[in-house]
A = this chain, B = another copy of it.
């Protein structure tokens, strides 16, 4: 017999009845606010072309590395989950069988945010009313497939239904932004905006780097055969992004180091990189230097700078070779912000045009480094709990560890950071519930009035993201 699927209206609110009653009232004031999605990985193409989503396996399993890594951790192979091999080798192609593998292993996801989001999506977006299991896999697959073939489940229809006021994509520095142009032509230019992500052109040690800077050169008309032209190309492309509505840049680095190099040294490393002779140490130094340079460009053009450091990508090289990046084998390393960010904060930390939003997957820095930095530097804001930490208890710990030093108003509100378009409402909804619960505890402990708590909740859910990501007047 199938177990019913009916997400409880009080889910993820605190258990204690008194606190829950307060949390309910606070949440009631934020639950229907529009979604402001300042950082994520939905492709502009999806909204530009507005094609129907694929089958349930493609929507819920194959591209979601939270889901595939958990199944792999219990012995399944990526091939069995339909993840394409780089060598074109055979993988599962039957979406029904892929979907079934998730359903049969539903218990593995107990207490994980993936389970929480999937339940929300299945029930509230697709109207599914039974829990996934071996028994229910097929019937759910059929219902999902039927829904996905209707116009109501096309991307733009969902954009509307989800109440997404603004969504920011993440785009390579070498993107031609063609899909954003299509969106602008369709009147969606103010609602779907790009973000400038230059990782591929600043990490000089990566295989594809040279090709990327060449592409950057031809896109911008700047001569990237030298360091000065490279900087010029970046400036031009940032401007192009800003003209297309971008409010921010985004930077993924292993370390937070922002030590600038002498211009001549930076030029030397750049040239060695072009010649394919750069060492690992030089590449690291150049990456830190480029964070400093990018901060300077942000002061010039007012784009908000986001930093996502501390993840060792592709920890399992054989998986990387076979399946490419973003397959669940990105593992955090200890993070350090105090010394790493000092150069950039001494240079620009008090500059009115500079805004730096910091993310982490290392919780130890919340109270030790991030909150003290955000509670002092006017340029710094704390991003939402990221990746593994975007979970009920993870978000609660962020508030508990950061707020007493940073306050609420040095945080930048929730970002969903997701590739999974249909999970966006679930993610924002969960964050609103957790914030309501945290605020309700403060009220119950007489540390905040309920009026203040409610106002704060609305700010966290809606106003702060808009404020934090406002383009700085250049």
Q: Is the CB of A332 within 8 A of B372?
A: yes
Question: Does A333 have its Cβ within 8 Å of any Cβ on chain B?
Answer: yes
Question: Does A69 have its Cβ within 8 Å of any Cβ on chain B?
Answer: yes
Q: Is the CB of B404 within 8 A of A388?
A: yes
User: Which of A52-60, A134-142, A391-399, A421-429 faces chain B?
Assistant: A391-399
Q: A376-B329, A389-B367 are in contact. Are A408 and B110 (CB under 8 A)?
A: yes
Q: Is the CB of A318 within 8 A of B446?
A: no
Q: Is the CB of B404 within 8 A of A392?
A: yes
Q: Which residues between 61 and 92 of chain A lie within 8 Å of chain B, taking CB atoms?
A: 69-70, 72-75
> B residues within 8 A CB of A169?
none
User: Which of A40-48, A255-263, A286-294, A356-364 faces chain B?
Assistant: A356-364
Give the docked Cα–Cα distance between A8 and B350 (Å): 38
Q: Which residues between 265 and 318 of chain A lie within 8 Å of chain B, taking CB atoms?
A: 312, 315-318
Name the CB-closest residue of B to A77: B350
> B residues within 8 A CB of A406?
73
User: Which of A31-39, A151-159, A242-250, A336-344 faces chain B?
Assistant: A336-344
The complex is assembled from copies of this chain, and their number is: 3
Q: Which residues between 100 and 125 of chain A lie within 8 Å of chain B, taking CB atoms?
A: 107-113, 116
- One of B15, B108, B339 near A407 (C-beta < 8 A): B108
Distance (whole angstroms) from the CB of A454 to the closest CB of chain B: 12
Q: Is the CB of B444 within 8 A of A404?
A: no
Give the docked Cα–Cα distance between A394 and B372 (Å): 14
Q: Is the CB of B112 within 8 A of A403?
A: yes
Distance (whole angstroms) from the CB of A470 to the closest CB of chain B: 13
* Known interface pairs A319-B350, A367-B388; 15 further A-B residue pairs with C-beta atoms within 8 A, sorted by A's residue number: A8-B446, A14-B445, A15-B19, A16-B18, A74-B378, A108-B409, A112-B403, A112-B407, A113-B404, A315-B345, A316-B377, A332-B369, A363-B368, A388-B405, A393-B400
The 5 closest A-B pairs by CB, nearest first: A8-B446, A15-B444, A11-B446, A391-B404, A69-B376
Q: List 26 A-B contacts (CB under 8 A).
A: A3-B449, A8-B446, A10-B446, A11-B445, A15-B16, A15-B19, A69-B376, A73-B407, A107-B456, A110-B408, A111-B403, A111-B442, A111-B447, A111-B448, A112-B404, A315-B338, A316-B345, A316-B349, A316-B377, A318-B346, A331-B376, A333-B339, A334-B364, A367-B388, A392-B404, A392-B447
